Amino acid sequence: MSKENYNEDSIRSLDWKEHIRLRPGMYIGKTGNGSSPDDGVYVLLKEVIDNSIDEFVMGNGKTIEVSVNQNKVSVRDFGRGIPLGKVVDCVSKINTGAKYDSKVFKKSVGLNGVGTKAANALSSYFRIRSIRDGKSKLVEFEQGEIVNEQPIQDNSSRKGTKVTFTPDEELFGKYRFINEYVEKMMWNYCYLNTGLTIMFNGEKFYSENGLFDLLEQRTDAEILYPIIHLKGEDIEVAITHCKNQYSEQYYSFVNGQHTVQGGTHQGAFRQALVKTIREFYGKNYDASDIRQAINAVISIKVIEPIFESQTKTKLGSTEMEPDGVTVLTFIQDFLKKKLDNYLHKNIDVATALQKKIQLAEYERKAMDGVKKMARERAKKASLHNKKLRDCRVHYNEQTKENRADSTLFITEGDSASGSITKTRDIKTQAVFSLRGKPLNSYGLTKKVVYENEEFNLLQAALNIEQGIDDLRYNKIVIATDADVDGMHIRLLLITFFLQFFPELIKEGHVYILETPLFRVRNKNKTYYCYTEKERKDAVADIGVNAEITRFKGLGEISPSEFKHFIGDEMRLDPVILGKEATIQDLLKYYMGKNTKERQDFIIENLRIEEDIIDA
């Protein structure tokens, strides 16, 4: 803005909803389209449910009903209900709520008085009904504006609050809720709140044993010893080690909030665990050997926690409460007492754990030479920029840059990587180019990660040798052709991640890039079609003069067109693990030697295809 135009008229004040809608990232992190578990639509759902969870924690209401139907979300609790005279204020007046009174909500999830206001402002439709003392109050909003406010009425229904909302497509685009993401959220709430029942779309979610159940359900590999489950005031942990696993896997929580990016409590737990184990065995074991193949959960409760963003994905607090004991000291004292006692009482577990540590030490020392050479090769390759075309924004431990918006595309061949490289947003999108098909890593040891050039360089590019805490990119997008070879490469890459870095997939970092199969156009219109149905619809709209192009590979799509497919209109399919099969079962089925089960599956599906063709 020029100096001449800068005057009183240049200054304006935004009301609460205008500011939230103009700067949603300040309140919900990022908008997204629902393909990622940290996209805004899930944050809105979480913010509404958090209020119901806080009611349960305070001893009010043991059941929460949640439904998601065609992007219309409903959350009903049976707590105390919002005081009827404050219903409008609680969902439309910023920095308003009961969470500021620590006597009422001592260790609450939501503390900033923003959550439901963001859900209201960012929804095309928002409706709230509070039932309390035999009366109710109903208010409806559109984009934060009241469109219907009913007077307080008599109501004999059970007390509590019901919120219904539809995230606004003007802000979120053509979004979708992925059931697996919502189900994982529901389970986390139940694991952290034993005795709570959540009914999600008619299905019951309930946990009897808290974090023990969480770790049991989330651990795919065979465990070396029974899960260690320890509880104390304001802290609960569950720990085990696994066979055939190389990485560390943690699930951390603060006041019931899943801190997917960890934070001071997770760092303190890792540090305190090493100290406790060293003191128990009286040996100065290397920290990496102690933690190799660990699967653990930690949950703590903190008065007035400080998070590093409004979305509360990383704890920044260093103290348990204002002017109180540090998080590190609190966790260290707990483990020193509880874990030390447990190991003394359970000698079989202590013996199994020590053998695992010693095996990890032996493997690490045997691998030192291989790792050194691999790092040198990766450094040399990086200097010559052969494989990776980096972006400017990714996670950096020194500068603390945020990787939330960063993406790495893994492509096959020079033509595809060239198109993406010329089109990408150089600030946030990086490209890693594969040479040929990757090795099938199923059943191999981690030594192959360092000996195989492609895997070694990919590991170095992602910065995941020591785990995913310092992962350089939030999204890892496999961008291959939609043909047999492309599908095979996808499978080989997913096998690599599942075999050695399963947490990348478990934590929702790996995606498949959808690219159009057809372009249908005339002089006035152009449609990019991802399915046969979309192609038929496009032809029907354009008419007989439609020009149809079938894209056989990514390299055939010009850079000028590619910008549509990796920009705001990018379509991503998340790689999600199913609830039933373990990782080892999946890898054995798809990547092991040919089995009768897999042969029968292929034959049966070929028959289905033939039936469709014949029809």
Give per-residue pLDDT as tens, 570-601.
889 999 887 766 777 777 777 777 666 766 76
**CA dist., res. 409 & res. 424, Å (int):** 10
Q: Please, what is the average pLDDT of the chain?
A: 85
Q: Which of 8-22, 62-76, 424-438, 537-551 shows the highest mean pLDDT?
A: 62-76
Farthest-apart Cα atoms in the chain, separation? 81
Give the residue among 483, 490, 478, 492 at the shortest CA–CA distance from 591.
492
Torsion angle of the four alpha carbons 566, 567, 570, 575, in this order, in degrees rounded to the nearest 10: 60
User: What pLDDT sits at residue 321?
Assistant: 75
101 burial class (0-12, 13-18, 19+ CB within 10 angstroms)?
A: exposed
Q: Can you give the pLDDT at residue 108?
A: 60
Return the closest-CA partner of residue 214 out of 235, 233, 190: 190
Question: Pick from 217, 230, 216, 181: which is nearest to 66 by CA?
Answer: 181
Half-sphere CA count of 219, side-chain side, radius 13 A? 28
8 Å CB contact between 92 and 17: yes
Burial class of residue 354, CB neighbours in 10 A (0-12, 13-18, 19+): middle
Q: Give the pLDDT band of residue 559 (cuts 50, 70, 90).
A: confident
Percent of the chain with pLDDT over 90: 47
> Per-residue pLDDT for 109 more than 60?
no
What is the reported pTM?
0.86
Question: Is-contact 475 36, C-beta < 8 A?
Answer: yes
Rounded Cα distance between 401 and 314, Å, is 14
pLDDT band at 157 (very low <50, low <70, confident <90, very high): very high
Q: How far is CA 434 from CA 431, 489, 496, 544, in A?
A: 10, 10, 14, 41
Contacts of 255 (CB under 8 A, 6+ apart): 107, 108, 109, 301, 302, 305
pLDDT category of residue 123 using cuts at 50, 70 and 90 = very high
Tell me whether strands 72-77 and 63-69 are parallel, antiparallel or unpaired. Answer: antiparallel
Give the residue-averaged pLDDT of 375-397: 67
DSSP 132-183: ETTEEEEEEEETTEEEEEPPPEE--SPSEEEEEEEE-HHHH-S----HHHHH
State how far the alpha carbon of 24 is from the alpha carbons of 12, 32, 174, 318, 569, in Å: 18, 11, 17, 28, 19
Give the number of residues written for the chain.
Answer: 615
Q: Which helix (H) or strand (E) holds 279?
A: helix 264-281
Tens-digit pLDDT profile for residues 273-296:
999 999 999 999 999 999 999 999
Q: In what order do the strands lie in the sheet with 228-232?
A: 228-232, 235-241, 294-300, 249-254, 257-258
> What is the average per-residue pLDDT within 353-364?
94
C-beta of residue 172 within 8 angstroms of C-beta of residue 31? yes
What's phi and psi for 131, nearest 5 deg? Answer: -120, 125
* d(C-alpha 47, C-alpha 108), whole Å: 12
Task: Pick 4 or 161 by higher pLDDT.
Answer: 161
